[in-house]
Structure 1
Amino acid sequence: MTDQGARFSHMSDIRVLDLFAGPGGLDVAAHFLGYKSIGIELDSNACETRYAAGLPTIHADVTAMRETRFDEIPRSVDILTGGPPCQSFSVAGKGAGRRALDTVKKFMSRLVDGEDEAQIDKELRDLDDPRTALVLEPLRWIIKALETDGRDPYEVVVLEQVPQVMPLWELYAELLRGGEGRLSGVKYETETWKLKTEEFGVPQTRTRAVFAARRVERGPIGRIERTHSAFDVTRRKRRASQPEPVLSDFAVPRSPTNWVSMAEALESAGQLPDSPVDTSRLQTGEDLKFFVVSNYGSGGISTNRGERQSSEPAFTVTGKVSRNRIYKSREDYDAGRWDRFTLPESGVLQTFPHNFPWSGKDQAQQIGNAVPPLLGMHVLSAALHGCAPAPEQLAAANTWPAVSQSTSEELRRLGCGDRSQCPPKTHKVIHPEQGSAP
């Protein structure tokens, strides 16, 4: 197939544009809901995972794509998704974004009111953390589509971020409902949710702020139905007077609507054909029993390491997930004998398919930065169809379809080409005598 033929094949029938796409959390969700997507991603390592997974990708900066390469986005795209980088807003960071919330709100209103964008860009560069400005990009892409000849407004918009961004999502909702200024001529039904991932079957505790919008002509957005119970993250404080857990405490009372545990998720993944997940090293007899000690502090004390039992959801899966320590027993803990989650296991805890082809470097960071696809399926389905994903869609999401090497190579050529338009310094430079760069 010629490059032109490959481009037509891979770029046809695309409905979803994923900004800040990462390795593909929202793309995976869209795939299992029956939608073809294309992602824009800055990190070349995440691009390698996407190419290996068969996900159309443009290796580029989201801002540069909007400013100079917007015409490369297929005109069939009518769904905009994205999870802007969260480092400046996250409680794990230095908080520049959190301190600038009110300032960012003013920038949003100024953009909609039609103030000079060159001046706005100049002021954005003066923010303490330039990444804070990226939370404005989805709004700027919405405006760009409205003001570009031959483009239709996005039918549906779905965004996610850390909970601290909720005030900005609420302003997004107000602006898109109003349909004024540069948004004139289009109005959206909107919803904002603060969602706990374990309430949707994700085997980890993680809270996300989610924004959803769709054209008023399509009717209101459906309710998002939680499928599982919340996990009590403060349970140990209430049990402070009880002795340290022993192996017999691994049995936690279950109910059909309870959260999904680490053991359940990993055991299920390990039983699938040709699964790279093998947890036999963590078994005690025939049972998968262990506890995890977090790499992060707990209760606001940096040296206080929290613990989770295998019968409980995992801690939030971050880019440091491989640093968490796994112990089979209290005796192993006392003796300093510990294990780590493998990359496929970490991906499963993030609800990626068990055989998802993680590639490139910094794979743990890729996994930790991603949107849990299972959460993405519930949010996208509510925004697109007003209902929860169908049982058969959820069942299919355990396994990723095989992708040929030739397809991955075609996607790499489409995404990176001769690298002249890729972000500077994002590809490792290798001298010709050493072979080609990845």
Structure 2
Amino acid sequence: MADGRPWRSVELFSGGGGMALGLARAGFEHRFLIDWNTHACATLRANRGMEWPIRQDDVRAVRWRHMGLDVDLVAGGPPCQPFSIGGKHAGHLDPRDMWPEAIRAVRELRPRAFLFENVAGLARPAFRGYLRWVLRSLADPDVEILPDEAPPDCPGVGEYQVRWFLLDAADFGAPQRRRRVFIAGVRRSLGVTLEAPTPTHSRDRLLWDQWIDGAYWARHGLRVAGREPPRDQIAAVERLSRHALAPPGRPWRTVRDAISDLGPPNGVNGHVFQPGARAYPGHTGSRLDEPAKTIKAGDHGVPGGENMVVLDDGSMRYFTVREAARLQGFPDDWAFAGSWTESMRQIGNAVPIQLAEAMGRWLRGALDRAARIDAVPVR
């Protein structure tokens, strides 16, 4: 806590609330959330409108200096379409690129720390120059440089110590494979160092629990007899079988872990069957006993043959809204505003709550350490 009060935050591009929920669970108190999308803001208001100040607006219209906000953290997920593998790959030339607005918010609010999330595509070689520009601009937000003038890496320069990481949500407890870039920073004057966040879950531990000691199947009341690992897991299982002890940490969470208690779609609380699912090359759905493939938003809510589950009998169907929400970590009482398409778009665009909470706790740990350092009297 800062001066005996909770750590206070502002969030840009809040969407359906994934990062906001995760950061709140990590101990941050939201003082302002903004998003331009009507349905996303309706979702936020329906679920947390009594607790969180929510504004529907274009971030470019916000004058942060004039708002009188004293915040510890600026967070958010700038639109990912300019850098998405499935997009037009226009990068900073795409009018939807909002990284300059994230940087401006840091420049005008001067928080103790910031945390931003984006698609893994931002780390591709095609965008590495722009990523360097983002990092350098966040490190010293008063020094304005053009994106086309991509500077060299200058890790020791600027007001903020900045780190970036490519993380998989499954490694932090989400029942979904979702690789994302996180960019974090803290003021150098706080005197703390940002170490890499430590994963808490692993594929090796899941395979051990499934194929070495059978604890996974027992937990679900299923028989292990007659089951064999999929072909793409055999080598890893053979390697693990040569070890005497289970791998440390927790197992990756699977689709079955996340949704099995819901049962078949029953039309209640977003658990509604949606027809039309079909498999085709590259779009074969998610296995029940692995983390889901990345839940995607797409232009029409569900892109192509993605966002499907392969059931025990080999049939497949779309994940229901409630199942997809579970895979992103949303609680069952979190209601999404809008149609099935709009709900799935909000879910697909969200930061998995487990990952947002893990990163929030990691960054809060740095702020807590800084507060303790600041509290030590000078002799």
Q: What is aligned with 1:379?
A: 359
Shift of 1:131: 0.9
Shift of 1:26: 1.5
Shift of 1:374: 1.0
TM-score by length of 2: 0.68
What residue identity is the alignment partner of 1:174?
R
Name the CA distance, whole Å, in 2 between partners of 1:14 and 1:34: 7
The reply on whether 1:47 has 2:41 as its aligned counterpart is yes
User: What is the aligned counterpart of 1:165 among 107, 122, 146?
Assistant: 122
Name the CA distance, whole Å, in 2 between partners of 1:76 and 1:387: 15
- After superposition, the Cα gap between the structure-2 partners of 1:217 and 1:23, relative to the gap in structure 1 and judged at 3 Å, is same
The reply on whether 1:62 has 2:59 as its aligned counterpart is yes
- After superposition, the Cα gap between the structure-2 partners of 1:227 and 1:14, relative to the gap in structure 1 and judged at 3 Å, is closer
Identity in percent = 26
Name the CA distance, whole Å, in 1 between partners of 2:173 and 2:255: 11
- SS of equivalent residue, structure 1 residue 217: helix
- After superposition, the Cα gap between the structure-2 partners of 1:13 and 1:226, relative to the gap in structure 1 and judged at 3 Å, is closer
The reply on whether 1:198 has 2:155 as its aligned counterpart is no
2:277·2:318 contact (CA, 8 Å) conserved in 1? no
- SS of equivalent residue, structure 2 residue 332: coil
Where do residues 67-82 of structure 1 align in structure 2 (5 Å cutoff)? 70=64, 73-82=67-76
Where do residues 144-155 of structure 1 align in structure 2 (5 Å cutoff)? 144-145=108-109, 153-155=110-112
Q: What is aligned with 1:181?
A: 143
Q: What is aligned with 1:90?
A: 84
Name the CA distance, whole Å, in 2 between partners of 1:225 and 1:207: 15
Name the CA distance, whole Å, in 1 between partners of 2:310 and 2:141: 55
2:36·2:56 contact (CA, 8 Å) conserved in 1? yes
TM-score by length of 1: 0.59
2:7·2:28 contact (CA, 8 Å) conserved in 1? yes
- SS of equivalent residue, structure 1 residue 48: helix
- Does 319-328 or 349-358 show the bigger shift? 319-328
The reply on whether 1:220 has 2:193 as its aligned counterpart is yes
What residue identity is the alignment partner of 1:353?
P
Where do residues 223-242 of structure 1 align in structure 2 (5 Å cutoff)? 223-230=196-203
2:139·2:160 contact (CA, 8 Å) conserved in 1? yes
What residue identity is the alignment partner of 2:284?
G
1:169·1:211 contact (CA, 8 Å) conserved in 2? no
Name the CA distance, whole Å, in 2 between partners of 1:76 and 1:57: 17
1:190·1:211 contact (CA, 8 Å) conserved in 2? yes
Deviations 1:239-280 (A, max 9, x none): xxxxxxxx945798796633110111224xx4xxxxxxx225
- After superposition, the Cα gap between the structure-2 partners of 1:137 and 1:311, relative to the gap in structure 1 and judged at 3 Å, is same
Deviations 1:126-178 (A, max 9, x none): x3x3113x122111222233xxxxxxx21111011012223344433334445
What residue identity is the alignment partner of 2:100?
L
What residue identity is the alignment partner of 2:255?
M
User: What is the aligned counterpart of 2:319 among 341, 351, 372?
Assistant: 341
* Count of aligned positions: 294
User: What is the aligned counterpart of 1:310 among 288, 294, 303?
Assistant: 288
Name the CA distance, whole Å, in 2 between partners of 1:365 and 1:309: 22
1:25·1:370 contact (CA, 8 Å) conserved in 2? yes
Deviations 1:332-374 (A, max 9, x none): 64xxxx4332212111101112321222341110000111111
The reply on whether 1:143 has 2:107 as its aligned counterpart is yes
Name the CA distance, whole Å, in 1 between partners of 2:186 and 2:7: 18
5+ long unaligned stretches in structure 1? 1-11, 98-103, 105-126, 146-152, 232-246, 271-277, 283-292, 298-302, 389-438
Name the CA distance, whole Å, in 2 between partners of 1:28 and 1:359: 17
Q: What is aligned with 1:356?
A: 334
Where do residues 23-38 of structure 1 align in structure 2 (5 Å cutoff)? 23-37=16-30, 38=32
1:42·1:61 contact (CA, 8 Å) conserved in 2? yes
- After superposition, the Cα gap between the structure-2 partners of 1:78 and 1:318, relative to the gap in structure 1 and judged at 3 Å, is same
Shift of 1:43: 0.4
Shift of 1:304: 3.3
Shift of 1:329: 4.3
What residue identity is the alignment partner of 1:220?
T
Shift of 1:59: 0.4
What residue identity is the alignment partner of 1:163?
A
Shift of 1:379: 1.3
Name the CA distance, whole Å, in 2 between partners of 1:170 and 1:386: 23
- After superposition, the Cα gap between the structure-2 partners of 1:24 and 1:325, relative to the gap in structure 1 and judged at 3 Å, is closer
Name the CA distance, whole Å, in 2 between partners of 1:62 and 1:295: 39
1:261·1:311 contact (CA, 8 Å) conserved in 2? yes
1:222·1:385 contact (CA, 8 Å) conserved in 2? no
Q: What is aligned with 1:100?
A: none
What residue identity is the alignment partner of 2:194?
I
1:14·1:74 contact (CA, 8 Å) conserved in 2? no
Q: What is aligned with 1:367?
A: 347
Shift of 1:382: 1.6
Q: What is aligned with 2:311?
A: 328
Name the CA distance, whole Å, in 1 between partners of 2:141 and 2:265: 57
What residue identity is the alignment partner of 1:229?
S
- SS of equivalent residue, structure 1 residue 181: coil
Name the CA distance, whole Å, in 1 between partners of 2:95 and 2:136: 25
- SS of equivalent residue, structure 2 residue 282: strand
- After superposition, the Cα gap between the structure-2 partners of 1:17 and 1:179, relative to the gap in structure 1 and judged at 3 Å, is closer
Name the CA distance, whole Å, in 2 between partners of 1:181 and 1:328: 54
Name the CA distance, whole Å, in 2 between partners of 1:295 and 1:209: 31
2:13·2:79 contact (CA, 8 Å) conserved in 1? yes
- The structure where helix makes up a greater share of residues is 1
1:222·1:382 contact (CA, 8 Å) conserved in 2? no
Shift of 1:223: 3.2
What residue identity is the alignment partner of 2:39?
N
